Amino acid sequence: MYGVLAASLFTTGSIFFMIAPLVDYLNMTYGIEQTRDPPAPEKETAQLEWLYIQQMMRTQRANTILYFVGGACFVAGSILFYPSMRTEATHGAWLYLTGCFIVFLGAMLAAFTAAELRKTSSHAAYARSWWTLWWWSDEDVQIFSCSLYMVGNAIFAAGSICFFPKITFLGGVVIEDERLSEYAAAVLFIVGSPIFFVGACTDLLALLREGTDKQTEASALVQPHLQKSRV
């Protein structure tokens, strides 16, 4: 019973992890901001800026593809950890290890992209509340969260390795024995999960503060017109 519940929770979480980058990819590819035409050729500075942003967007799209592929590996690996598929757990561990490697590369690429964007970006002023993370720019937030993802993936990778069986050779025949340490694997996955959770919460707070900032700007624009209408 508990084995089925654990595998179901892992599979569900992996599905969400796979869907999220797909949504990001669609938004970056077909969003309104991405349909803008390039500036006129005579505006050289604006054109260079537009090309720079487009290159960064291509890099971020590549990053979402890595996350999606890694998530797909997690989903397939989670399914193979169901008790009814116990004999296939080694393949599940390989899939999980592959997913960890791919997502680690994606997080590292995202961190490098954010570091590059930070060179030319300006630090927006946010309301000084703990949840707005006002002391960090958007790029700082991404670097921090991606660092957590990389640490979490390294821990998950170690946990995946612990699911591999002990290999013995008997008369020239390869025999798979019991797992290296399922207890250690479970502990490592439990440790890695909150690290991932903190990284996701950090990204969520960055998105929420962006929405709050835009609402404040809209209110500032509308307020003078309301006062005039009352007069």
For 59-100, give the DSSP string: HHHHHHHHHHHHHHHHHHHHHTTSGGGGGGHHHHHHHHHHHH
Q: Would you list the domain boundaries of the chain?
A: 2-121+133-230
Residue 59 — left, alpha, or beta (φ > 0 → left; ψ -120 to 50 → alpha)? Answer: alpha
* The predicted structure's pLDDT at residue 104: 94
CA angle 18-8-194, nearest 5°?
65
- Could you tell me the pLDDT band of residue 218, with boundaries at 50, 70 and 90? very low
* The predicted structure's pLDDT at residue 72: 93
Residue 195 has pLDDT above 70, yes or no: yes
* The predicted structure's pLDDT at residue 215: 46
pLDDT digits (tens, 9 = 90+) for 72-112: 999 998 888 888 887 787 888 899 999 999 999 999 988 98
* The predicted structure's pLDDT at residue 35: 52
Average pLDDT, the chain: 78
User: Cβ(114)–Cβ(60) under 8 Å?
Assistant: no
User: Cβ(95)–Cβ(113) under 8 Å?
Assistant: no
Greater confidence (218 vs 92) lies with 92
Residue 230 has pLDDT above 60, yes or no: no
Backbone angles phi, psi at 30, to 5 degrees: -115, 5
pLDDT digits (tens, 9 = 90+) for 10-53: 889 889 889 988 888 888 777 655 555 666 665 666 666 767 77
Residue 178 has pLDDT above 80, yes or no: no
* The predicted structure's pLDDT at residue 56: 74
Residue 217 has pLDDT above 50, yes or no: no
Backbone angles phi, psi at 69, to 5 degrees: -65, -40
Query: For residue 162, what are the CA distances in angstroms to 9, 13, 96, 159, 229?
Result: 20, 21, 11, 5, 69
